[in-house]
Amino acid sequence: MDIVELSRLQFAFTAMVHFLFVPLTLGLSILLAIMESVYVMTGKTIYRQMTKFWGKLFGINFALGVTTGIAMEFQFGTNWSYYSHYVGDIFGAPLAIEALMAFFLESTLVGLFFFGWDRLSKEKHLAVTWLMALATNMSALWILVANGWMQHPVGSELNLATMRMELVSFAEVLLNPVAQVKFVHTVSAGYVTGAIFVLAISSWYLLKGREIAFARRSFAIASAFGLASALSVIVLGDESGYELGDVQKVKLAAIEAEWQTHPAPAAFTLFGLPNEAEQHTDFAIRIPGVMGLIATRSLDTEVMGIRELKEEHRERIVNGQEAYALMQRLRSDEEREGDMARFEEVRSDLGYGLLLSAYSDDVANATTAEIDQAVEASIPKVWPLFWSFRAMVAAGFSMLLLFALAFWHSVRRQPEKSRWLLRFALFSLPLPWIACEAGWFVAEYGRQPWAIGEILPVHLAISSLTAEQVLFTLISIGVLYTTFVIIEMWLMQHFARKGPSGSGYLDDDAESDYPISTPAREA
Amino acid sequence: MMDYETLRFVWWVLIGVLLVGFAVTDGFDMGVAALLNVVGRGDEERRVMINSMAPHWDGNQVWLVTAGGALFAAWPPVYATAFNGFYLALMLTLFALFLRPLAFDYRSKLENPTWRRRWDWGLTIGSAVPALIFGVAFGNLLQGVPFQFDDYLRLEYQGGLLGLLNPFALLAGLLSLLMFVTHGAAWLQLKTEGELRSRSAAIGSLTALICAALFVLGGVWLLLGVDGYQVTSVIDTQGYNDTTGKIVAVSAGGWMTNYSRFPLLWLLPVLGVLGFVLCALTMKLGRHALAFTSSAVAMAMVVVTTGVTMFPFVMPSSLNPNHSLTMWDATASELTLKIMFVVVCIFVPLVLLYTAWSYWVMRGRLNEQFIRDNDKALY
């Protein structure tokens, strides 16, 4: 493998492992805040025990979220150095704001959440828990503003003097519609993850006939919260942003294996085997009209097909060659009359010109064969996107069904009587992770061949390193992360099995459970 | 508001503030963790040490993350060049840092003594290795780093991990490790009792004196044995970054320039040395608050002295000195600097406020009885 592929693999691995822990943190932090609110409002100590027990599992997950998060903050610079130079003026800001606005609050308050129980009044501790949950969600906002900009780069412009993209409008970057839908979709997915986690483990207790009072209440809260969140994920799915920008259009066409443009509204391919060679989907089962409705939110907007997108890309690549040649002249002393004016006309296609640099040393004079190669590579492989999207949707709908049933049974106050439902809930435990990972795969693999959509191809974004160096770190991270994940999962199941009573939470008398006494003052 | 030049200067100051914030906060928990297997005898003593920082280490570490983020936002070329250039060193730092959150949260979750001892070492490695490497990195910055750019500002970096481990850089690394250790020892005196406290006082007053000596030695070495960098052309401090367009001279004693022009600057390193000496003294005398304050001041002075010595450079290039990065020509655009300045003005005071509140809530000393009483609830 070459350095580009190794760098991509390292980023994909670190990001995907990181995202095993993020959604649970997002969802569980809100659930903890809800449980503790019930405790403060009703004064029933069982809700405090719930907050503490689920809080312990939250902590085990949170630690690995922090560990894998550190790598994310630093590896743009370590492994994507030209990327960092080229777009740092825009991309760095949301990352820094995330740290200042969210990480500080989250990390400071998580300490008080765990160790402040007996040092803070009920109300103050509740405020700490809510602020911690809020900070977690704000962190998602800023990182998705950054990611949304990679998908649909708005509010910025190439500065030929500094040879990088520079910020023009911060408001546009912040209010980027792609970022906004991503935020809602991602945090809702986090809430679903938290809800399934609590629901599945509570169901296991109910199946075993243990911790009944504790598990019923947890089950009820998780099913109600989960139902609302699952509806939100599906209704506010992020394909609503897929009309915006070329990257999103390509992604949509690939997800749907839409080889050619069809008359609106487009059909949804429920099942099929995408055949890359013949640009055709074998054995397709289609539902008329549905996809056009989902993707464009209208009945008369076309969903562009891959063939048409490629034609468009070819034009833009040819324009990009001219933009590249003009840029070379403008950055040297050979500027001619009218170069700048012409550059203004074609500058939006410069990124497409840069795509050619993977196949030709002389972008401005690339051959037709080289242009053909760049055009082919301008669309990601269809089948991985087609299938991971369907995996996500299937997992999503099955969780919606589960929450609906669980909510119904919990309203009737007898969830433990229906054992098949409890088993359904237990075996659904992996679903939110499958959905989250598949969803991110669609978002990021679907962005290929771009690092920044229409601006910077991924092969130019890498660092000045050797393949061996990246291979070494990739293997090291692989070994470390695998070890960590095994330890984390073992601890998680260990404490879930012990349960609230086995961990000593329910044995103590109601007022002194899980005590943290005031330590001795100055001797 | 401010013009580009002022903003650039303000951001040079702000990056310094973040680095000092990191040293003063995360510095003590890294120091305590580095000392864990030195002064902590037995599981309960080590738990006292760990729990003295348990509510705070995570918030403290965000200073480091924020410094990284702020570097990305305010000085993208520096972020790109430094992180790429120091690749393997930074990766080793990351691997070590991976261990910290896990060691804190997982260590005391199980009773098994082997499990706990392994995580104790994980915590020590996770804290001591980054403390050492940060110093090594600064030691290399002061000597210049082998990089240059092509016409499209793509980085070319020549040099590997071993080149970073030269004697001067190792001295800087040792200083940074020992100043964190000193600061950690000072923290332990504020938060613990009895033998643990007196053992850390003994170690801390020793390391403080070594720090003073290393700082002086490093300074003399820098002035006599390390070439300094000077910009000899005029940089347009109001204009676009023209990173590769300036002319830079490299000369023996070049790092003296700022001190010859403004002799008052000598106060900074002098205050640093005095801080370390005062810290050693007050530890011996049992004046814990003063010891912690003076180690904080001393560390701040080490960071500030380094920055002032190199001003306006932040990353000199030994391969092609003209391509060196300075705080005038390696910044973000004016708009980004402006927006980030507003963000910092709003959020840094808030951060300081709730951080102070969390320390106030968790105030007081810990002892082994406290650990036994709260066995399940503590780290």
Interface contact B91-A159, CB threshold 8 A: no
Give the closest of B57, B155, B333 to A167, CB-based.
B333
Residue A101 placed within a domain? yes
Q: Has the ipTM of the complex gone over 0.90?
A: yes
Q: Within a domain: residue A317?
A: yes
Query: pLDDT value at position A453?
Result: 93
Helices and strands in chain A, H and E counts: 18, 6
Q: What is the three-class DSSP state of B140?
A: helix
Final residue before a domain boundary, out of A115, A147, A175: A175
Residue B288 CB neighbour total at 10 angstroms? 19
User: Would you call B90 and A98 a contact, using CB atoms and an 8 Å cutoff?
Assistant: no
Give the confidence band of A276 by pLDDT, cuts at 50, 70, 90: confident
CB-based burial label for A121 (10 Å; 0-12, 13-18, 19+): exposed
- Cα–Cα distance, B90 to A399 (Å, whole number): 41
Total tally of structural domains belonging to chain B: 1
Choose among A202, A189, A200: nearest CA to A230.
A189
Look at residue B259 and tell me if it is in a domain.
yes
The torsion angle over the Cα atoms of residues B329, B332, B335 and B336, rounded to 10 degrees, is: -160
**Arithmetic mean of pLDDT, B247-274:** 95
Domain end call among A376, A392, A415? A376
Identify the CA nearest to A470 among candidates A9, A7, A70.
A7
Cα Rg of chain A, angstroms: 26
B379 part of a folded domain: no
Decide which of A376, A398, A427 is a domain's last residue.
A376
Number of separate domains in chain A:
2
CA pair distance B239, B7, nearest whole angstrom: 12
Assess if residue A274 is contained within a domain: no
* Nearest chain A CA: its distance from B158 CA (Å): 9
- Write the residue in B72, B240, B351 that is nearest to A161 by C-beta: B240
Q: What mean pLDDT, rounded, does chain A reach?
A: 90
Residue of A nearest to B67 (CA): A96
Least confident of A422-426, B4-8, B161-165, B331-335: B161-165
pLDDT digits (tens, 9 = 90+) for A389-400: 999 999 999 999
Question: Per the domain annotation, does A268 fall within a domain?
Answer: no
Domain of B143, in residue numbers: 4-373
A436: tokens are 């989250």
Residue B84 resides in a domain: yes
Domain membership of residue A517 (yes or no) is: no
CA-based end-to-end distance of chain B: 48
Contacts of A120 in chain B (CB under 8 A): 361
| CA dist., res. B117 & res. A236, Å (int) | 48
Closest CB from A81, A96, A97 relative to B80: A81
Pairwise CB contact (< 8 Å): A85 & B77: yes
Q: Do B376 and A331 touch (CB under 8 A)?
A: no
Which of A78, A88, A484 faces B84 most closely, judged by CB atoms? A78
Half-sphere exposure of B285 (CA within 13 A, CB side): 11
Best of A3, A53, A78, A173 to disrupt the B interface (most B CBs within 10 Å) is A78
Enter the pTM of the model. 0.93
Select from B359, B62, B224 the least CA-distant residue to A100: B62
Say yes or no: B325 contacts chain A, CB-CB below 8 A: no
Report if residue B378 sits inside a domain: no
Q: Tokens 């969600």 label which residue?
A: A137
pLDDT in tens, A2-50: 999 999 999 999 999 999 999 999 999 999 999 999 999 999 999 999 9
What pLDDT sits at residue A243? 65
Taking a contact as any Cβ pair under 8 Å apart, which residues of chain B between 180 and 199 contact chain A?
193-194
Q: Cα–Cα distances in Å, from A505 out to A135, A202, A211, A515, B377?
A: 28, 16, 11, 10, 10
Q: Which of B266, B268, B289, B267 has its CA nearest to residue B278? A: B289
Q: State whether residue B154 sits within 8 Å of chain A by CB.
A: yes
Helix spans in A121-176 (H): 122-151, 170-174
Q: Which residues contact A506 (CB under 8 A, 6 or more apart)?
A: A49, A211, A214, A500, A513
Q: Is residue B25 part of a domain?
A: yes
Beta strand extents in chain B (DSSP E only): 147-149, 155-157, 227-231, 248-252, 313-315, 325-326
Report how far residue B217's alpha carbon sits from residue B214's, in angstroms, rounded to the nearest whole number: 5
Q: Is the dihedral of CA B64, A171, A454, A249 positive or negative?
A: positive
Nearest CA of chain A to the CA of B73: how many Å? 4
pLDDT digit string (tens) for A423-466? Answer: 999 999 999 999 999 999 999 999 999 999 999 999 999 999 99
Asked if A462 and A3 count as a contact pair (C-beta separation under 8 A), the reply is yes
B chain contacts of residue A170, beta-carbon cutoff 8 Å: 335, 339
Domain residue limits at A320? 306-376
A123 CB-contact burial (10 Å; exposed 0-12 / middle 13-18 / buried 19+) = exposed
Q: Confirm if B314 and B78 have CB atoms less than 8 A apart.
A: yes
Q: What is the pLDDT of residues A64-90, one digit of tens each?
A: 999 999 999 999 999 999 999 999 999
Least confident span in A242-246, A283-287, B134-138, B370-374 = A242-246
Burial (CB < 10 A; 0-12, 13-18, 19+), residue B201, is buried
